[in-house]
Amino acid sequence: MRTTCFLMAVFLFFLHGNSIAQYTADKIVGQKPKNVSLADSLKHVTYPYMLPIWGQKVINKGFDLPFPVGMSVQYIWQQSDIIIDNLQVGFNHGPMRNCDDIIRFDKATATTNGANIRPDFWVFPFLNVYGILAKSKNTTAINAGLWIPDSSNSWKKIGNINTKADFDATTAGFGLTPTFGIGGFFMALDMNFTWSDIKELDKPAYIFIFGPRIGKNVKFKNEQSLALWAGGFRVHMNSGTSGSLSIGDLFPTGQWQQKIDSGYIKVANGQQQVNAWWSSLSPRDQQNPGNIAKYNTANAALAKAGQLLEGASEAVNTVGNSTVQYSLDKRPKDQWNFLIGGQYQINKHLQIRAEYGFLSSRKQFIGGLQYRFGF
């Protein structure tokens, strides 16, 4: 009856965050003596590094550049509601059955705790490119139910699915951040592409993140500064997920067999009610296309529920390496959320940053430390 709880263990909704590398190249403007002095001095500086391309030209035009290469370490926490549909289940590599009509998800929530390492390079003064290597521990909690039709062809829940599953993921990817700054104000359009390997999945999970931001950098003495920003966070992921899991890791035999037996009884009662309703109809009413459609739909759903329970029972009680196969489509409940963040620059080599996302069904926190150097 609760055969789908294992499916959630394979769902990854794991956001890798996006960072701003010493926020951007900044065009020095204004008539303050320190700004005029800095802009004039930059016009005569010999740029000593290979990156970014055109570094010498933009320095001489009055842009202050960050060090071209950085390495950062970030901690990420994220929690998000997800939508699941097109659920199919099979046992021991047998036939897969679509269970959308009889298994309905009330709520599914994915939580991630992880860390990543990110090398980055200013390839051009307006474009930062970075790589991502991440490890995470993930939890997926679901509330769902098994539904069947009754004699009036109304659907009722005959069992609850409340479960939580834990799994690990390894992620790799890359990102691009086009950005521009003038007078301390800046805009960044961060985007990254990642693939996460989870042993329960047939293929890596793909995620695309887009994070536009606008902000202001306030400079202090001795190279210290504080950048503050606000923006959005959009997530797109490949919708299809499929894989196989061991039954022994999912179904404690005694506990689940009792629930399966209870499900059998409720399905049998439902079938009796549907048959009684059909028998009570006059021959003329039994020819009514609407009644025929209701009767066939109810029988198909009850047969599917019975087959699902039968497959679960056989799998739970099979000695040896019994497995369950699955496929499903998933998506975030909300693609966008709002975010605010800040980065404190201790000096041009070392920065600390933090960011928080909210105002949707997704919440996230990112904190990190970055070191920059010349190349």
Q: Are residues 164 and 303 in the same domain?
A: no
Q: Are residues 260 and 194 in the same domain?
A: no
Q: What is the pTM of this model?
A: 0.77
Q: What is the pLDDT along the chain (375 residues), one digit of tens a residue?
A: 333 333 333 333 333 444 444 456 655 555 555 555 555 565 667 889 999 999 888 888 877 888 999 999 999 999 999 888 888 888 777 788 888 888 888 888 989 999 999 999 999 999 999 999 999 998 888 888 888 887 666 788 887 777 777 788 999 999 999 998 888 899 999 999 999 888 767 778 889 999 999 999 998 888 899 999 999 999 988 667 777 766 665 555 556 677 778 888 888 888 888 888 888 889 998 899 988 888 888 888 888 888 888 877 776 666 556 777 778 888 888 989 999 999 999 999 999 999 999 988 999 999 999 999 988
In this structure, the answer to whether residues 287 and 141 fall within a common structural domain is no
Cα gap 156→54, rounded to integer Å: 67
Residue 196 CB-density burial (10 A; 0-12 exposed, 13-18 middle, 19+ buried): buried
Q: Cα separations (Å) of 131 from 16, 171, 193, 207?
A: 11, 11, 9, 14
User: Are 145 and 179 members of one domain?
Assistant: yes
Do residues 89 and 197 share a domain? yes
CATH number of the domain enclosing 149: 2.40.128
Work out the widest C-alpha separation in the chain, in whole angstroms.
Answer: 98
What is d(CA 156, CA 134) in angstroms, rounded to the nearest whole number? 43
Judge if 202 and 93 occupy the same domain.
yes
Q: Which of 304, 322, 340 is the last residue of a domain?
A: 322
Total domains present in the chain: 2
On whether both 166 and 310 belong to a single domain, the answer is: no
Q: Confirm if 227 and 215 have CB atoms less than 8 A apart.
A: yes
Domain span at residue 200 reads 3-247+325-373
d(CA 316, CA 248): 7
Looking at the structure, tell me whether residues 264 and 361 fall in a common domain: no
Let me know whether 255 and 338 are in one domain.
no
Whether residues 241 and 341 share a domain: the answer is yes
Q: Looking at the structure, do residues 276 and 237 belong to the same domain, yes or no?
A: no
Q: How far apart are CA 88 and CA 328, in angstroms?
A: 6
- Domain stop point among 322, 341, 356: 322
373: its two tokens: 């150097």
